[in-house]
Structure 1
Amino acid sequence: MEQDYRLAEGEYRFACLVWANEPLGSGQLVALANEALGWKKSTTYTVLKKLCERGILHNANGTVTALVKQAQVQQEESAAVVQKSFGGSLPRFVAAFLNTSSISEEEAAAIRAMLDDARRQDSDA
């Protein structure tokens, strides 16, 4: 069974603190969570324990590191949104996004390059 890396909003913001600062001491994490999220020490340790139990973070001897990369979580979250809201259709997702937002020429070029790379990878497979 594949691991579920989807995070609630607060869990994601907390994990972002770890990704941006790892490795870090648990005391330092408490201070960061208080400053950035307004969390108390008990809340920080509760969420840390939960994410450690899920295999997302690791706390060894008071040093906190991530076992799962931010990109992995973002990929899973993105796929879940596309599946849930657009029936798994990436074109429907992009169309909905473009109906409410605009993109720069640089962003359009970057997207074209990603699509070209994906096409090349598919043809190589």
Structure 2
Amino acid sequence: MEDVKLGVVETKFADIIWRQEPLSSGELVTICREELSWKKSTTYTVLKKLCDKGIFQNQEGRITSLISRQDFYAARSTKFVEDTFDGSLPAFIAAFTSRKSLSREEIAEIRDMIDSSGGADHRLGNRK
């Protein structure tokens, strides 16, 4: 995926699709009218833009994603860390925690993520 950015409105729109997919273009128009107060033409214009970016596809009036919400935001997060912290996740965490303390639950959740990624096991295995 190229460096695709979404504005605030595009993000709300994308979240609607990710939450509801697969859905028909008619269903999408109805949801956008109710949730975003959009006209049909606005919905189709933004949909085409995000299809052109390779995030969604509209095949015969059926809207589906080409990239999951999780994968999209994982790629965006990786790009942010690369651009802002020279790719250093520890530098990002240091900057983040200098302004906001982590709760015990957040710390435990992060430790679990590290442990499940194999990072801790891999490092321990190399200490032989």
1:89 and 1:67 map into 2 onto residues whose CA distance is 28
Larger radius of gyration: 2
SS for the counterpart of 1:108 is helix
Paired residues in the alignment total: 122
2:85 and 2:47 map into 1 onto residues whose CA distance is 32
1:62 and 1:111 map into 2 onto residues whose CA distance is 41
Gaps of 5+ in 1: none
1:5 and 1:29 map into 2 onto residues whose CA distance is 26
- In the TM superposition, what is the alpha-carbon distance from 1:49 to its structure 2 partner? 1.0
Gaps of 5+ in 2: none
Q: Which residue of 2 aligns with 1:68?
A: 67
Between the two proteins, what is the percent identity of the paired residues?
A: 43
Taking only aligned residues, the RMSD between alpha carbons, in angstroms, comes to 2.1
Q: Which residue of 1 aligns with 2:105?
A: 106
Q: Which residue of 1 aligns with 2:85?
A: 86
SS for the counterpart of 1:29 is helix
SS for the counterpart of 1:65 is strand
Q: Which residue of 2 aligns with 1:57?
A: 56
- In the TM superposition, what is the alpha-carbon distance from 1:108 to its structure 2 partner? 0.9
Is the Cα–Cα contact under 8 Å of residues 5 and 73 in structure 1 kept in the other structure?
Answer: no
Is the Cα–Cα contact under 8 Å of residues 5 and 72 in structure 1 kept in the other structure?
Answer: no
Q: 1:49 to 1:121 in 2, by over 3 A?
A: farther
Is the Cα–Cα contact under 8 Å of residues 57 and 67 in structure 1 kept in the other structure?
Answer: yes
Name which structure has the greater RCO, CA cutoff 8 Å, separation 6+.
Answer: 1
- In the TM superposition, what is the alpha-carbon distance from 1:35 to its structure 2 partner? 2.9
Q: Which residue of 2 aligns with 1:95?
A: 94
SS for the counterpart of 2:54 is coil
Task: Give runs of ≥4 in structure 1 deviating > 3 Å.
Answer: 120-124
1:13 and 1:114 map into 2 onto residues whose CA distance is 28
SS for the counterpart of 1:72 is helix
2:98 and 2:39 map into 1 onto residues whose CA distance is 41
- In the TM superposition, what is the alpha-carbon distance from 1:37 to its structure 2 partner? 2.9
TM-score computed with the length of structure 2 as normaliser: 0.81
- In the TM superposition, what is the alpha-carbon distance from 1:60 to its structure 2 partner? 1.8
